Structure 1
Amino acid sequence: MRLENILFSHSLSQPEKTALICGENRLNWGDLGNRVRSVARGLAARGIGSGDKVILYMSNQIEFAEAFFGVLATGAVVVPATTRISPHELAYFQADSGAGLIICDANLAEKVAAEVSVGAEIYTVGETISDFADFSCLRQSGTTPLPPIPLEQDEAAILYTSGTTGQPKGVVLTHANILVCHGYMNAVEWGINGDDIYLVVSPMAHRAGMGRMINALMLGGTLNILSRFDPDDVLSIIEREQVTVLGLVPTMCRMMMPVLEADPQRAASLRRLAVTGEAFPVPLKERLIALLPNLEIVSFFGMTEAGGVTGLMHREQFTHAGSVGRPCPGVEVRITDEDGRDVMDGEAGELLVRAGRPGAFTVMKGYLNNPEQTEAAFSDGWFRTGDMARRDADGYLYIVDRKKDMIVSGGLNIYSKEVEQTITELPGIADVAVIAVPDDVFGESVVAVIEPEKGAVAPDKNQIVEHCRQRIAGYKKPKYVLYRSELPRNATGKILKRDLLPWAVAEITATTDQAKVAS
């Protein structure tokens, strides 16, 4: 069962219903189906077919959905990339995936062309840029049938996620992976359907934003697309379009509270709020429900590789507030010790996930071009999440630590190793440790603790931040840069990051207090 065929079915059964809204632009289901087919014909005319890779380096807009499903309709595979990553990072995605065609925002085209060393056609969305073909060139009219797609071509998307080694890994997701999670499980568990009006505020190139797009378009609903998150814009769209389903990360909820508290009636149409990305604080839940008593909150724990793993329903938000919920129906979990043995309820261990054969339901097919890491990620068919968890007697799961060296800021995953490797490219740095400190708005903030080379002048904070901005996504750059003559290490020389945390918090607090006094 393929995603584009479900979209085509809705376009035939309800052609006049509005499918997509972005600002002043609206597209009904009949026109959406026609546009997707025309893009597929244009791609096929340029040699794109079964198993080929096409990169979408685009901000949220109607053309993203059009291109996403147009690529799938040729049998090719979408490689979505949020515009928050740098063109330098995108070049790795292109080289690793072998993508021969890139569709990107016009303002990014020249930088992409400068970074991409392996030949690839570049098409721009937005203003026309000389030396680059416009996305409209891919729309090809006609009724010529597309070549049939081989049954064995089940891959739909490759999402790149940074690994603990710092090298991005391409997560291969099948049509079934995406459809089962966002087209069926979410619908059943959350009670959403084709009558709902959805709003996506997260990047549609990210798994969370893609999930909301798939929710709406696989269920036959109406999807409102916000190009850039702004609290007042969110409430304006909810009020004007009577949005019923919204997905957010807690950071966005915090940012929306002032405008929501000023006039909660603007969001009275909301009936479902899906929250993911980090722990959802109880006080924030209480404030939301007090303002919107008809709103039901569902929070969930998921991963790019494993899809939705657990869910916490509205009635459980306060009875089990610290939990990530119980396993989604059909998802099996184990909690094991370092020897692979199941631990007792209440004990912590690594969380393992299984949902049938990899690629068949919710768990990824594997890592692209990386059989060694794919093999290491699975143990007898169980995906090793790298998260440390415990389970209570009622089956509720609690994430107690990260086995992987990862920071979650604003609902986005940041792997410390990637930031460390980027910083150590600079001269005058003997070593660096990247850790997370609590942040009232974003949940966690990135801190880089620098150990300068003996006798050398280490780069200052502005130089470090700017270098990171050029090499990796902006949200990964450190918010704080601290310096120590020596980083704490154990007997084998491994940096003791746990020992750095209280010191870093104290240093940041002292600096903040001094700034307040000075002002």
Structure 2
Amino acid sequence: MRLETILLSHARAHPGKTALVCGDERLTWADLGHRVRAVARGLLARGIGPGDRVVLYMSNRAEFVEAFFAIQAAGAIAVPVTTRLTPRELAWFRADSGAGLVICDAAAAGAARAELGPDVAMITAGGQAEGFAGFDTLRLPGDTPLPPVAVDRDEAAILYTSGTTGRPKGVVLTHANILVCHGYMNAVDWGIGGDDTYLVAAPMAHRAGMGRMINAMLLGGTLIVMTRFDPDDILAAIARERVTVMGLVPTMVRMMMPALDAAPERAASLRRLAVTGEAFPVPLKERLMALLPQLEIVSFFGMTEAGGVTGLMHREQVTHAASVGRPSPGVEVRIVAEDGRDVAPGEPGELLVRAGRPGAFTVMKGYFNRPEETAAAFTDGWFRTGDMARQDADGYLYIVDRKKDMIVSGGFNIYSKEVELTIGELPGVVDVAVIGVPDPVFGEAVVAVIETGPAAPPDPAAVIEHCRSRIGGYKKPKHVLYRDRLPRNATGKVLKREILPAALAELGLTTEPAP
């Protein structure tokens, strides 16, 4: 079962229903189905076919939805890359995936070309850019049926996730992975469907925004796409379009609270809110529930590699606030010690996840072109998450330690190794440790602690600007601190747990994130 066939069946079943609203553009399901088929023809005409990869380096816009499903209709594989990443990072993803085409925002085309080089095919969306073909050139009209895709071409997307080594890995998700998670499990667990109107405010190239986009498209609802995150604009869209379902990360909720406090009636149509990312503080939940008593909140713990693992339902948001919920139906979990044995209830260990054969249900097919790393990620069919967790007698899971060196800021995962490698390029840096500290808006903020030597180290502004130019802006440090020597163990490994208390004291912070 393929994603594009579901979208096209909705186009046939209710052609006059509104499918997509983005700014001033409103598309019916018939319009959207026509565009998806037309873009698929354009891709095939350009030599993009089964198994080929296409990078989507686009901000939220209607063309993203068209392109994502047209790529599937052509039998190819989508490689979404958020525009919050730099063109330099884009070039790495393009090279690693071997993508033959990049569809890029027109505003970023020049910078992207400089990094991609002259030989990479590019199409621009959201306007014309001199020297580039526009998205309209992909829309080839015609009535000829699209060629069928072989049943063994089951890969739908490659989503990149950084590793603790700093080298991003491409997670291969199949049509089944996406369908089971967003077209079935979300629908059953959250009580959402084709009668709902979905609003997406997070980047659709990021898994949080992509999930809500796919919910709407697979369930036959109406999708409202916000081109930027602005609380007043979002509340106006909710009121105007009678939005019923949306997804946010806690940072977005914090940023929306002043506007909600001023006029909660603008969100009166909302009935479901899906929240993921960093921890959702109880005081923030309680404020939201008091303002919008009709709203039911569901939070979930998921991973790019494993899909949705657990869910915490509305009735449990306060009673089990510290938990990430219980395993989703059909998802098996184990908590194991270092020797692989299952630990007793309440004891911490590594979280392992299984949902049938990899690629068949919610767990990824594997890492793209990395057979050794794929093999290392699984033990007897169980995916090793790297997260330390415990499970109580009632089945509720609690994450006690995240993946090594990962920081979650504004719902985005930041692996400290990547930031450390970038800062280490600067002269005057003997060594550097990157840690996360509480932040009142983003949940966590990045702190770089630099070990200095005989040469003068770079000043904080230089460190931040260097990171901004080399990696995604959300990964740059908010604070830069300096030490004569970083604490190490007997083997020379930097002890971040000893760095954190002094950093918190120097920055005047507590260990508890603000609500």
Pick the TM interval, shorter chain: over 0.9
Equivalence map 1:300-319=2 (5 Å): 300-319=300-319
Q: Which residue of 2 aligns with 1:133?
A: 133
Any conservation in 2 of the 1:11–1:29 contact (CA below 8 Å)?
Answer: yes
TM-score by length of 1: 0.97
Q: Does residue 13 in structure 1 map to residue 13 in structure 2?
A: yes
Q: Which residue of 1 aligns with 2:464?
A: 465
Q: Which residue of 1 aligns with 2:493?
A: 494
Cα RMSD, aligned residues only: 0.9
TM-score by length of 2: 0.98
- Give deviations 1:81-130, integer Å, cap 9, x for gaps: 11000000011111111101000000111111111148321000122111
Unaligned runs of 5+ in 1: 511-519
Equivalence map 1:332-351=2 (5 Å): 332-351=332-351
CA distance in 2, matches of 1:148, 1:47: 16
1:377, CA displacement in angstroms? 0.8
User: Which ranges of 4 or more aligned residues in structure 1 deviate by more than 6 Å?
Assistant: none
* Amino acid in the other structure paired with 1:457: A
Equivalence map 1:65-464=2 (5 Å): 65-117=65-117, 119-452=119-452, 454-464=453-463
1:144, CA displacement in angstroms? 2.0
CA distance in 1, matches of 2:102, 2:42: 14
* DSSP 3-state at the match of 1:429: coil
Q: Which residue of 1 aligns with 2:54?
A: 54
Equivalence map 1:18-37=2 (5 Å): 18-37=18-37
- Give deviations 1:35-67, integer Å, cap 9, x for gaps: 000000000001010000000000001110001
Q: Which residue of 2 aligns with 1:474?
A: 473
1:233, CA displacement in angstroms? 1.0
Any conservation in 2 of the 1:50–1:149 contact (CA below 8 Å)?
Answer: yes
Shifted more, 110-119 versus 276-285: the winner is 110-119
Aligned residues: 509
CA distance in 2, matches of 1:188, 1:426: 51
1:509, CA displacement in angstroms? 1.5
* Amino acid in the other structure paired with 2:134: D
Identity of matched residues, %: 73
Any conservation in 2 of the 1:11–1:32 contact (CA below 8 Å)?
Answer: yes
1:146, CA displacement in angstroms? 2.1
CA distance in 2, matches of 1:343, 1:119: 54
Any conservation in 2 of the 1:95–1:118 contact (CA below 8 Å)?
Answer: no
CA distance in 2, matches of 1:415, 1:118: 31
CA distance in 2, matches of 1:463, 1:147: 53
CA distance in 2, matches of 1:364, 1:120: 28
Q: Which residue of 2 aligns with 1:515?
A: none
* Amino acid in the other structure paired with 2:66: E
- Give deviations 1:68-92, integer Å, cap 9, x for gaps: 0111100000000110000000111
1:145, CA displacement in angstroms? 2.3
1:279, CA displacement in angstroms? 1.0
Shifted more, 9-18 versus 399-408: the winner is 399-408
CA distance in 1, matches of 2:340, 2:459: 45
* Amino acid in the other structure paired with 1:470: S
- Give deviations 1:188-239, integer Å, cap 9, x for gaps: 0000010000000111011111100010010000000001111111111111
Unaligned runs of 5+ in 2: 510-515
* Amino acid in the other structure paired with 1:439: D
CA distance in 2, matches of 1:119, 1:171: 26
1:426, CA displacement in angstroms? 1.0
- Give deviations 1:422-442, integer Å, cap 9, x for gaps: 110111111000000011111
Any conservation in 2 of the 1:100–1:119 contact (CA below 8 Å)?
Answer: no
